[in-house]
Amino acid sequence: MAARPRLRFAPSPTGYLHVGGARTVLFNWLVARRTGGEMLLRIEDTDVERNRPELTDDILEQIQWLGLGWDGEPVHQSERLHLYAKAADQLLAAGRAYWCDCTPEQVQQRAAERGGPPGYDGHCRDRGLERGPGTALRFRVPDEGVTSFDDLVRGTVSFENAKLEDFVLLRSNGIPTFLLANVVDDADMGITHVVRGEEHVNGTPKYLLIADALGLDHRPVFAHLPVLVNEQRKKLSKRRDSVSVAEFRAAGYLPEAMVNYLALLGWGPPDGVEIRPLDEIVELFRLEDVNPSPAFFDTRKLQHFNAEYIRKLDADEFVARARPFFTHAETEAVVRPLAELVRDRVRLLSEVEPMVDFLLSDDITYDEASWRKHVAKHGERSAAMLDAAVQRLEACEWRADAIEAALLAAAEDAGFVNPEGRPQMSKAQGPVRVAVTGRGVGPPLYESLVVLGRGRTLDRLRAARAAL
Ligand code: GLU
C-alpha cells in the first residue's frame, strides 16, 4: 500500500505571510485533504538573524485565520542544527564537499576578470583546506552530466551540471544554508510532495545532487507553482503592491473569500465555476492541472469574491464578522436594524461603519460633489423638496412604508414629477439623502430614516434648507 502523502509548508521567517505563501499553503493543504495525507509546517529559521518568534508569529496566525491548519507541531530548523552538521560531515568525508576561504569580493573579482556569468569558480576545490575562521563548506558539483526532475506543473526540467556553481552548504559562521537543511528535513520528515513557489526551480537540481551525495533514497514529487504578478505583469512586490495576508484581513476580507480566490491563482476548476465551497475545491483540485504561466493577482476580482461571500452571510453572522471593524460603541446598534441592507452594499467589512456614520454623529458635512449633483442642480425644487419633506415627515408614522409615502407626497408637492405627473423618487430623494447623510449614496433611505429617528431627521432637513 502506498504511504500516506505528506506535504509541508516551509516558510522562512519573513515577518508576514505573503499572498504567494498563502497560495502555497493552500495548494499543499488541498492535496493533503483530498488524499487523506498530512500537511506539516516547517519553519526554515537556520539563519540566526531570522530566528526570532515575531518573524514567524504572523505567518502562523494568518494560516490559522485562513482556516488552513497543519498537522502536528511546527518543526523549527533552528532546533535541528545537529542533523545538518552531521550531513555536512558526511559529505565532507565522502569528498563531495570541501572548505573554501574565498571572500565574496574575491569570488566577484575573479568572475569579473574571467568575464561571462558571475559565480564561484571552484577555486578551493583541490586546495585541501581545513575548517577555520572564515571558511565555508561548498558542495562539489559534478563537472558533467545533467540533473533532471519531473515537475507536476512544468513537466521534465533539466539542468546541465557544468552550469551549476559549487554552492555553499555551511556558511563561515557554521550555519547551514537552507539548501542543505531543506533536503535533510524533507527526507527525515518523510515528505512525499514538495509544493512550493517557482523561485525554487533553480535550487531543485542542487537539492537532488545533495540528496544523491547523501545516499538518500528519498525522492519527493515536485510541483513548482507559478509566480504571482500584478496588473502590469510584474512580480508582486512588497513596495508596489498589497502582498501580506494581514493587510487584506485588516481591510475587511473574509478568509473564505480569500481562500476561494487563492485557489484560482494558477488553477481553475474543470467546469469553470469559480466561486464555490472549499470542499468542492478539495474534490476537484489536482496539481497536474496547475498552469505554469504567471498568475495575475487581481485585487478587483478578489473584492468581487468578497462582496459575494459577504452577501451570503445571514444578518447575525454579518454583524458578528463586521464587529471587529467597529470603532464606535453605538455602531452595532445602528447597523443591526439595517444589517441586510448594508450587507448587500459593501465589498469589505471595513466599509460597514463608514456606510452608517451618519447615524453615529450629528456632525454632517456635505460632500461637495454630492451637494452639487443632488441638491444645487435642482435649484428651487430642492428647497421645495426639503420644505415639503419637513412638513410631511412631521406628521407621518415613523415606519419605512409611511416614510416612503410621505416622501412620495413631498416629491409631488415640490414638483419632482415626470411628464405623466408621477413622482420621480430617484431625483427627489437626492436633496433628502444629502441633507441627512451628507452623501449621494448610502443604504436605502427610508429604512435609514427609521433608525435615525424623526427629531434628528427633521433637524438635518432644516439645516440643509438653511444652507441653500
Ligand atoms: N523556505 C523556503 C521559502 O520560504 C521554502 C523552501 C521550500 O518550500 O522548499 O521560500
- Is 330's pLDDT higher than 60? yes
The residue count of the chain comes to 468
Integer Cα distance of 333 and 279 in angstroms: 35
Is 333 part of any domain? Answer: no
Is 332 part of any domain? Answer: no
Which atom belonging to ligand 1 lies closest to the Cα atom of 21?
A: 4
Is 117 part of any domain? Answer: yes
How many structural domains comprise the chain? 3
- In 3-state terms the chain splits into helix, strand, coil percentages (rounded to 5) of 50, 10, 40
CATH number of the domain at 379, please: 1.10.10.350
Is 203 part of any domain? Answer: yes
Question: Are 140 and 156 in the same domain?
Answer: yes
Is 150 part of any domain? Answer: yes
Question: Are 60 and 113 in the same domain?
Answer: no
Question: Are 260 and 384 in the same domain?
Answer: no
Q: Which helix (H) or strand (E) holds 97?
A: strand 97-100
Identity at 284, one-letter amino acid code: L
CB 43 within 8 A of CB 54: no
Which atom belonging to ligand 1 lies closest to the Cα atom of 196?
A: 8
CA of 78 to the centre of ligand 1 (A): 15
Question: Are 84 and 217 in the same domain?
Answer: yes
CA of 228 to the centre of ligand 1 (A): 16
Of 178, 188, 207, which is best to mutate to test ligand 1, by the most ligand atoms within 8 angstroms of its C-beta? Answer: 178
Residue 22 phi/psi, 5-degree rounding, is -65, -40
Residue 450's region, left for phi above 0, alpha for psi from -120 to 50, else beta, is: alpha
pLDDT band at 2 (very low <50, low <70, confident <90, very high): low
Which residues, in sequence order, are bridge partners of residue 228? 295
Q: Which helix (H) or strand (E) holds 340?
A: helix 339-343
Mean pLDDT of the region 254-269: 98
Integer Cα distance of 39 and 26 in angstroms: 10
Q: Which pLDDT belongs to residue 137?
A: 98
CA of 191 to the centre of ligand 1 (A): 14
Mean pLDDT, the chain, integer: 96
Integer Cα distance of 279 and 20 in angstroms: 21
pLDDT band at 271 (very low <50, low <70, confident <90, very high): very high
- Is 66's pLDDT higher than 50? yes
Q: Which pLDDT belongs to residue 218?
A: 83
Which atom belonging to ligand 1 lies closest to the Cα atom of 203?
A: 9
Mean pLDDT of the region 312-341: 97
CA of 201 to the centre of ligand 1 (A): 11
Domain extent for 234: 6-76+227-301
Question: Are 197 and 242 in the same domain?
Answer: no
CA distances from 294 to 29, 201, 213, 254 (A): 21, 14, 34, 25
pLDDT in tens, 429-440: 999 999 999 999
pLDDT band at 133 (very low <50, low <70, confident <90, very high): very high
- Is 400's pLDDT higher than 60? yes
Is 328 part of any domain? Answer: no
Of 26, 55, 63, 196, which is best to mutate to test ligand 1, by the most ligand atoms within 8 angstroms of its C-beta? Answer: 196
Question: Are 93 and 221 in the same domain?
Answer: yes
Q: Please give the share of the chain, as a percent, with pLDDT higher than 70.
A: 99
pLDDT in tens, 14-51: 999 999 999 999 999 999 999 999 999 999 999 877 77
pLDDT in tens, 341-386: 999 999 999 999 999 999 999 999 999 999 999 999 999 999 999 9
Of 8, 12, 27, which is best to mutate to test ligand 1, by the most ligand atoms within 8 angstroms of its C-beta? Answer: 12
Of 182, 183, 188, which is best to mutate to test ligand 1, by the most ligand atoms within 8 angstroms of its C-beta? Answer: 182
Global confidence as pTM: 0.93
Of 225, 248, 275, the one marking the end of a domain is: 225
CA of 215 to the centre of ligand 1 (A): 23
Question: Are 160 and 99 in the same domain?
Answer: yes
Question: Are 140 and 151 in the same domain?
Answer: yes
Nearest Cα neighbor of 106 from 136, 139, 126, 140 is 136
pLDDT band at 291 (very low <50, low <70, confident <90, very high): very high
Which atom belonging to ligand 1 lies closest to the Cα atom of 195?
A: 8
Q: Which pLDDT belongs to residue 1?
A: 47
Question: Are 214 and 235 in the same domain?
Answer: no
- Is 125's pLDDT higher than 70? yes
Give Rg (Cα) of the chain. 31
- Is 154's pLDDT higher than 60? yes
Which residues are known catalytic residues? 238
Q: Whose CA is closest to atom 6 on ligand 1?
A: 10
CATH number of the domain at 187, please: 3.40.50.620
pLDDT in tens, 100-121: 999 999 999 999 998 877 899 9
Question: Are 63 and 188 in the same domain?
Answer: no
pLDDT band at 304 (very low <50, low <70, confident <90, very high): very high
Q: Which pLDDT belongs to residue 116?
A: 75
Q: Please report how many Cα atoms fall inside a 13 Å half-sphere around the Cα of residue 69, on the Cβ side.
A: 3
Q: How far apart are the first and last CA of the chain?
A: 82
Question: Are 215 and 113 in the same domain?
Answer: yes
Integer Cα distance of 167 and 171 in angstroms: 10
Which atom belonging to ligand 1 lies closest to the Cα atom of 14?
A: 4
Identity at 211, one-letter amino acid code: A
Q: Which residues contact 101 (CB under 8 A, 6 or more apart)?
A: 124, 129, 132, 134, 135, 136
Of 193, 225, 257, the one marking the end of a domain is: 225
CA 238 vs. chain centroid, Å, equals: 12
Of 248, 272, 301, the one marking the end of a domain is: 301
Residues with Cβ within 6 A of ligand 1?
Answer: 10-12, 44, 178, 182, 194, 196, 200
Is 40 part of any domain? Answer: yes
Cell triple for residue 126?
583541490
Which atom belonging to ligand 1 lies closest to the Cα atom of 199?
A: 10
CA of 202 to the centre of ligand 1 (A): 12
Is 408 part of any domain? Answer: yes
CB 136 within 8 A of CB 168: yes
Sign of the Cα pseudo-torsion (8, 12, 16, 22, in order): negative
Question: Are 87 and 221 in the same domain?
Answer: yes
CA of 182 to the centre of ligand 1 (A): 8
Integer Cα distance of 118 and 12 in angstroms: 26
